[in-house]
């Protein structure tokens, strides 16, 4: 049999005839093989390996743009088909319709897969062949028989490192770019959102309307908030957001996969400057010395919410005052009123009423 197996390849089938002198001779095997028996074997080679084998890597597709490759401690999302050397499928992420997500090089994977993933770039496809002593060894595991050579067909979808921050690439910047976005500004912008492999997730262009936010107010993920800062109207950027600054390991069900790196192509269309931090309303003109009396339209010594709201609306309409952009008018007014109504009885009295610069150490959103 030693002689007969030499030179065989995986999936090769041979009929082997062995004379007694090269088998069990004149003794045979008691109760199993009679003396001087000629043995016939129908042999199918399933797999083979050598103790000196290393992980074999065959790259069959590599994107032209490959600026970053997988390194130790990176978190990788990839699809795979796992087969034995004879082509038998034992597992597939495609069948589960979700990527396999894991850290590389820190012991979360079998040693051969750790080695095989290093150096890959997003979109790259490889066949990684792993000998059993770098896989599941002599014992195997579940569907994996002992001493099996494993073959993985890998497609890297994306990867990142926990130390990554937001990456910003400016695609276009207008010549006149002096007014830059900052915390509190109201922004209107278009975006295309995709995964690192180019899969489109969402686009404001498809629905024909901008996305509108107040910067720094928590209306978008932290990575987008960072990516929108210091932009001017007309500027276009590509913002790449790692999952810990995006939607995290859980993602958004049915929309964003867990642990996904996000790519946003952004164009800022409009910027309305916000108010100083801590303010929801400011005066554009000098403040009347008789402000409380002006608000108290019925001169009964107390201001109700309706009176307060009408007065603030009139100041905004006339240009004498300005509200923080991007917020609901009623919400702002109710907040301002509640801060002036210090005892919470639903009305503001003259001794409760104070302008912001009259406050000592208190912080309020009111006048």
Question: How confident is the model over 24-70, as pLDDT tens digits?
Answer: 999 999 999 999 999 999 999 999 999 999 999 999 999 998 999 99
- Helical (H) or strand (E) element with 83: strand 75-84
8 A C-beta contact, residue 328 and residue 214: no
- Residue 49 lies inside a defined structural domain of this protein: no
- 193 φψ region: left (φ > 0), alpha (ψ -120 to 50), beta (else): beta
- Residue 108 lies inside a defined structural domain of this protein: yes
User: What's the average model confidence in pLDDT over 75-80?
Assistant: 97
The reply to whether 121 and 176 lie within a common domain is no
- Residue 51 lies inside a defined structural domain of this protein: no
**Residues of 186-202 as b/e, b for ≥16 C-beta within 10 angstroms?**
bbbbbbbbbbbbeeebb
Instruction: Report the C-alpha gap between 225 and 158 in whole angstroms.
Output: 22
pLDDT confidence bin for 358, thresholds 50/70/90: low
- Residue 191 lies inside a defined structural domain of this protein: yes
The reply to whether 95 and 68 lie within a common domain is yes
Counting the structural domains of the chain, the total is 4
Count Cβ atoms below 10 Å from residue 73 Cβ, excluding itself: 12
User: What's the average model confidence in pLDDT over 161-174?
Assistant: 97
- Helical (H) or strand (E) element with 14: strand 13-18
What does the pLDDT look like over 90-121, one tens digit per residue?
999 999 999 999 999 999 999 999 999 999 99
Last residue of a domain, one of 272, 307, 334: 272
Instruction: Report the C-alpha gap between 177 and 185 in whole angstroms.
Output: 16
Res 152 pLDDT > 50: yes
Task: Indicate which CATH number applies to the domain containing 88.
Answer: 3.10.50.40
Q: Which structural domain range is residue 14 located in? A: 2-44
The reply to whether 110 and 197 lie within a common domain is no
Give pLDDT, residue 243. 97
pLDDT confidence bin for 356, thresholds 50/70/90: low
User: What's the average model confidence in pLDDT over 314-327?
Assistant: 89
Instruction: Report the C-alpha gap between 225 and 239 in whole angstroms.
Output: 10
Last residue of a domain, one of 241, 272, 303: 272
Structural tokens at position 217: 């107010």
- Helical (H) or strand (E) element with 76: strand 75-84
Res 333 pLDDT > 60: yes
Instruction: Report the C-alpha gap between 135 and 152 in whole angstroms.
Output: 11
Mean pLDDT of the chain: 92
Distances (CA, A) of 336 to 216, 246, 301, 317, 354: 20, 33, 19, 18, 11
Q: Comparing C-alpha atoms, which of 108, 112, 76, 82 is closest to residue 96?
A: 82
- Residue 261 lies inside a defined structural domain of this protein: yes
The reply to whether 177 and 205 lie within a common domain is yes
What does the pLDDT look like over 248-304, one tens digit per residue?
999 999 899 999 999 999 999 999 999 888 788 888 888 888 888 989 888 898 899
Last residue of a domain, one of 272, 290, 306: 272
Q: Comparing C-alpha atoms, which of 111, 130, 116, 109 is closest to residue 70?
A: 116
Q: Which residue has the tokens 């897969």?
A: 113
The reply to whether 12 and 97 lie within a common domain is no
Instruction: Report the C-alpha gap between 93 and 154 in whole angstroms.
Output: 10
8 A C-beta contact, residue 365 and residue 336: yes
């Amino acid at each position: 049999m030693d002689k007969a197996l030499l030179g065989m390849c995986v999936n090769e089938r041979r009929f082997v005839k062995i004379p007694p002198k090269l088998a069990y001779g004149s003794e045979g095997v008691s109760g199993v093989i009679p003396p001087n028996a000629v043995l016939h074997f129908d042999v199918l080679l399933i797999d083979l390996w050598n103790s000196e084998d290393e992980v074999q890597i065959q790259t069959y597709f590599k994107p032209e743009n490959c600026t970053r490759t997988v390194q130790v401690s990176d978190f990788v999302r990839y699809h795979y088909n796992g087969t034995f050397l004879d082509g038998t499928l034992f597992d597939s992420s495609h069948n589960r319709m979700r990527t396999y997500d894991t850290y590389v090089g820190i012991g979360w994977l079998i040693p051969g897969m750790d080695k095989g993933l290093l150096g890959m770039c997003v979109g790259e496809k490889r066949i990684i062949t792993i000998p059993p002593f770098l896989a599941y060894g002599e014992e195997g595991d579940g569907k994996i028989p002992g001493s099996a050579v494993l073959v993985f067909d890998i497609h890297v979808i994306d990867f990142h490192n926990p130390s990554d921050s937001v990456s910003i690439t400016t695609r276009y910047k207008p010549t006149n770019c002096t007014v830059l976005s900052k915390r509190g500004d109201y922004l209107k912008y278009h975006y295309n959102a995709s995964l690192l492999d180019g899969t489109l997730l969402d686009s404001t262009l498809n629905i024909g309307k901008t996305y509108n936010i107040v910067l720094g107010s928590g209306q978008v993920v932290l990575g987008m908030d960072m990516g929108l800062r210091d932009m001017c109207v007309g500027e276009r950027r590509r913002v790449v957001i790692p999952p810990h600054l995006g939607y995290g390991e859980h993602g958004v069900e049915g929309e964003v996969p867990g642990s996904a790196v996000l790519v946003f192509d952004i164009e800022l269309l409009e910027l309305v400057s916000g108010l100083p931090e801590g303010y929801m309303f400011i005066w554009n003109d000098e403040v009347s010395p008789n402000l409380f009396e002006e608000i108290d339209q019925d001169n009964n010594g107390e201001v109700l919410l309706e009176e307060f709201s009408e007065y603030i609306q009139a100041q905004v309409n006339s240009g004498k005052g300005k509200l923080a952009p991007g917020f609901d008018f009623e919400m702002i007014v109710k907040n301002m009123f509640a801060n002036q109504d210090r005892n919470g009885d639903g009305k503001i009295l003259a001794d409760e009423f104070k302008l912001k610069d009259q406050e000592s150490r208190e912080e309020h959103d009111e006048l």
